[in-house]
């Protein structure tokens, strides 16, 4: 499976599920037009753009282009790439009827089409890591969350809320989504320092 260095932005969870079968990448959902009113999500996307670069991958219908054009005006253009799926008539399996314009969305694209779409957009495909270097060796893990009281404890939700507020991240991120976001934005040591600051003790 090809690994993509940039963060890929899609419309919803079904698009994310389809893309996850094709590439190893960090994928963020817009949750449709909710992004228009979610300042925290836009701030998060700007930070991701600055740190990793973004690839916008929306449907090829009118709604997809409305979302794409909105993001064009809200995000730094030099840090954003645009991937366009082809116009293919049809409907996704989970839907009873085709969409308003009768086109397949991202979730309905074949894997080879999605891969070629990302390639044409200029996605950065990482080479395989050397066998001697374990992947994500320094990644923040759920085990760290347990150790730091961010998961599995009586005050875990409260501690996560405090951390989200301190880092100006979307308050609706659950533990798994928070873990993904932290690995995109911070190193383990940086996060430990922040947790010490939030807790006000010598232990995160």
List of domains in the chain: 2-126 (3.40.1360.10), 142-199 (no CATH)
Compute the distance between CA of residue 162 and CA of residue 5 in angstroms, rounded to an integer: 29
Token digits of residue 46? 């700007």
Q: Is this prediction's pTM over 0.75?
A: yes
Stated length of the chain? 204
10 DSSP β-pair partners? 29
pLDDT tens for each residue of the chain, 204 residues long: 899 999 999 999 999 999 999 999 999 999 888 888 888 999 999 999 999 999 999 999 999 999 999 999 999 999 999 999 998 888 888 877 777 788 899 999 999 999 999 999 999 998 644 444 455 557 889 998 999 888 888 888 888 988 988 888 878 788 888 888 898 888 888 888 888 887 765 556
């Amino acid at each position: 499976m090809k690994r993509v260095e940039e963060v890929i932005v899609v419309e919803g969870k079904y698009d994310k599920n389809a893309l996850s079968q094709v590439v190893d990448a960090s994928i963020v959902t817009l949750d449709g037009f909710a992004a228009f009113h979610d300042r925290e999500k836009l701030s998060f996307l700007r930070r991701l753009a600055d740190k990793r670069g973004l690839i916008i991958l929306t449907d090829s219908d009118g709604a997809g282009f409305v979302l794409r054009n909105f993001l064009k005006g809200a995000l730094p253009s030099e840090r954003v790439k645009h991937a366009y799926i082809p116009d293919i008539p049809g409907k996704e399996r989970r839907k009873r009827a085709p969409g308003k314009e009768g086109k397949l969305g991202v979730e309905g694209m074949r894997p080879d089409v999605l891969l070629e779409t990302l390639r044409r957009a200029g996605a950065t495909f990482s080479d395989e890591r050397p066998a001697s270097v374990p992947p994500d060796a320094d990644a923040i893990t759920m085990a760290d969350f347990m150790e730091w009281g961010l998961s599995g404890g009586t005050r875990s939700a409260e501690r996560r809320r405090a951390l989200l507020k301190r880092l100006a991240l979307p308050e609706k991120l659950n533990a798994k989504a928070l873990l993904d976001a932290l690995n995109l934005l911070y190193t383990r040591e940086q996060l430990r320092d922040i947790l010490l600051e939030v807790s006000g003790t010598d232990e995160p």
